[in-house]
């Protein structure tokens, strides 16, 4: 009587192949999560800088240039390299002040850098006209 070996030989090495395929995919997934987190962080920094800049630009007696310089200084302090290639534009009309920031989030995955564009508009502060004095 002859005994036959179990058919387990076909599965030999399957765990190694699965590990070799799954490890890079897991690493790429983790890097994508970090990339998304950096993009969100850079977007929030740009939003905070634009909010601060528009508050300066909309103040009574201020100018768009003052809002722009404040925004650029705040971006330099906050970004720490997470937000790169920034461009700040500011405008002020008789009724509104606007700050726009464009840039790119730092790349974790080589070649994958997400753009950021934030625009904040606020009304300009004015002194109300003198109401008619009661007689």
Q: Which fold has domain 18-123?
A: Nuclear Transport Factor 2; Chain: A, (3.10.450)
Residue extents of the structural domains in the chain: 18-123
| Sequence-separated (6 or more) residues with CB below 8 Å from residue 122 | 54, 55, 57, 58, 96, 97
Q: 113 near 90, Cβ under 8 Å?
A: no
The reported pTM is 0.77
Task: Please list the pLDDT of the chain residue by residue as tens digits (135 residues).
Answer: 566 555 556 767 777 778 888 888 899 899 999 999 999 999 999 999 999 999 999 999 999 999 999 999 999 888 788 898 999 999 999 999 999 999 999 988 888 889 999 999 999 998 887 766 565
The helix/strand/coil state of 113 is: coil
């Amino acid at each position: 009587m002859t005994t036959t070996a179990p058919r387990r030989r076909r599965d030999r090495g399957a765990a190694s192949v699965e590990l070799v395929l799954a490890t890079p995919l897991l690493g790429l997934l983790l890097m994508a999560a970090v990339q998304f987190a950096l993009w969100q962080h850079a977007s929030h920094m740009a939003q905070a800088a634009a909010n601060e800049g528009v508050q300066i630009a909309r103040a009574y007696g201020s100018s768009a240039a003052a809002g722009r310089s404040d925004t650029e200084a705040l971006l330099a302090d906050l970004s720490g390299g997470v937000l790169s290639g920034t461009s700040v534009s500011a405008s002020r009309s008789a009724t509104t002040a606007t700050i726009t920031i464009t840039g790119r989030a730092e790349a974790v995955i080589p070649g994958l850098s997400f753009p950021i564009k934030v625009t904040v508009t606020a009304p300009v502060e004015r002194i109300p006209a003198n109401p008619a004095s009661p007689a």
